[in-house]
Structure 1
Amino acid sequence: MLAYQMANKEHLAPWEPIRDSDFYTAESCRRRCESAYQAFIDGTAVSFIALERKSNKMIAGCNFSNIVRGPLQACYLGYSVHQEFEGQGLMHEVAQAAIQYAFGELGLHRIMANHLPSNLRSQKLLGRLGFEREGYARAYLKIAGKWEDMVLNSLINSEG
């Protein structure tokens, strides 16, 4: 995971919060993995990684965070793909499998995913996955050091 983050540091910077130098250390990576595992145990998040078959290296990540039960039964989708694998349909394949898990195994009703208005790759990916635009939020997230607007999208589980 650390090698993935290091290799994609510049590539992902426009779409993520500013990361301090500690983020790119083995110890910080270990802590994030422990935190992700605990969130999975607690039922508040699920993380997936995609590995390249021949090298066994991480090439994409997908997660469901802020899982809320009760009458909402919803979560947020996040994802990233290694810059060398962009535009090959990999993220669609990974996200599609993860969504099946969220709706099937987790029994969630709603998945929300937001993207920067300028992120046309995310817009196209979410559209291909069946997400529908629900709105527009001004100054929603601090990305790359600046409060950014976001396009709000959701996917509803038609089975439940």
Structure 2
Amino acid sequence: MVALPRLQTLRTRIRLAEESDAAMLLQYRVENRAHLAPWEPLRESEYYTLGHCTKTIVEGRTLASQDRGYPLIVVDPDDRRILATVTFANVVRGAFQACHLGYGVAVDVQGQGLMREILGPGIAWAFGELGVHRVMANYLPHNERSARLLASLGFEREGYAKRYLQIAGQWQDHVLTALVRPDE
């Protein structure tokens, strides 16, 4: 069984959310609704309710217990506010040993190097404790910040997918990148 991450960086703590974090998750969603909208699927109004946040956390914990996904929250050192989210999703075992990486950061802390600080230990956990061989991350072609961030972490471009995901209500192309565990 994979040990759940409880990682710490200089400015954050990274962990799986607990049901008691539902109000904090709701606050993050509401405060960053407009900021994250161009990068996410369209959200129903229910998404911005305490009940949906609780449901999301319970489902995330179930995914982790089944080794299928690890939706993590990134909180301030005092555990009072969510600063970002990081998800290691679609975990595939067998001959593939891979997952997809997704992330988002609060509008008021973007551009401060926080996501790079978070993803370093997060990816180290994925290659270590999670035991994957490959972490894949895809981004919209016009998302230059994600392009630079992923390149700085060693992700390499592997392809271009036409109309890959429905983001902000439209099927949008994505650049496909991956990082392979360096010791293999």
TM-score normalised by L of structure 1: 0.97
- Return the offset for 1:51: 1.2
The residue correspondences of 1:24-63 to structure 2 (distance < 5 A) are 24-53=48-77, 56-63=80-87
The residue correspondences of 1:1-160 to structure 2 (distance < 5 A) are 1-53=25-77, 56-160=80-184
SS at match of 1:108: coil
- Cα separation, partners in 2 of 1:55 and 1:158, compared to 1, 3 Å: closer
Unaligned runs of at least 5 residues, structure 1: none
CA deviation vs aligned residue, 1:111-154 (integer Å, no higher than 9, x gap): 00000000001101101111000110000000000000000000
CA deviation vs aligned residue, 1:36-77 (integer Å, no higher than 9, x gap): 000000000112221123572000110100000000000000
SS at match of 1:138: strand
* Percent identity (aligned): 46
Cα pair 1:67 1:76 within 8 Å, conserved: yes
What is the alpha-carbon distance in structure 2 between the residues aligned to residue 152 and residue 28 of structure 1? 30
Cα pair 1:2 1:24 within 8 Å, conserved: yes
Moved over 3 A (4+): none
Matched residues, number? 160
What is the alpha-carbon distance in structure 1 between the residues aligned to residue 30 and residue 151 of structure 2? 29
What is the alpha-carbon distance in structure 2 between the residues aligned to residue 15 and residue 98 of structure 1? 21
RMSD of aligned alpha carbons: 1.0
SS at match of 1:30: helix
SS at match of 1:80: strand
Unaligned runs of at least 5 residues, structure 2: 1-24
